[in-house]
Amino acid sequence: MPFAKRNRNHESIQSTFGFIRKKTSASLLGVGFDNTDEQTRITRGKNFLLCGGSAETHGVMQETAIKVNERLDHRGKRLDDVSLGELRDILHDVADSIGIKPPQDKN
């Protein structure tokens, strides 16, 4: 008998010691590369982690992450619950509201 065996839906692992549940969740990751002042900027929040960037870039990432969470709360959803398309729409709405131009879709 193998030590560990995954079940079909990969939600848990069966081992000789019983079941080990894997908890998965969605998160936003923001990484800025334009830092020139040698400051280390890291912000953690509800389902997001932001690292690096200049003070301005990091501030924009913070505002974006907070507004995405506000939009999700308003819809009564969690980041885990939304489709990629719905998340894209939320990000475009947030970008418009804070005055940044999102990248163009390649579709």
The model's confidence at residue 8, banded by pLDDT at 50, 70 and 90, is very low
Task: For residues 25-52, give the mean pLDDT.
Answer: 94
Residue 2 has pLDDT above 60, yes or no: no
How much is the pTM?
0.71
How far, rounded to the nearest angstrom, does the alpha carbon of residue 76 sit from its chain's CA centroid? Answer: 17
Strands 18-21 and 42-45: unpaired
Angstrom distance (rounded) from CA 41 to CA 59: 10
For residues 103 and 101, give the distance between their C-alpha atoms in angstroms, rounded to a whole number.
7
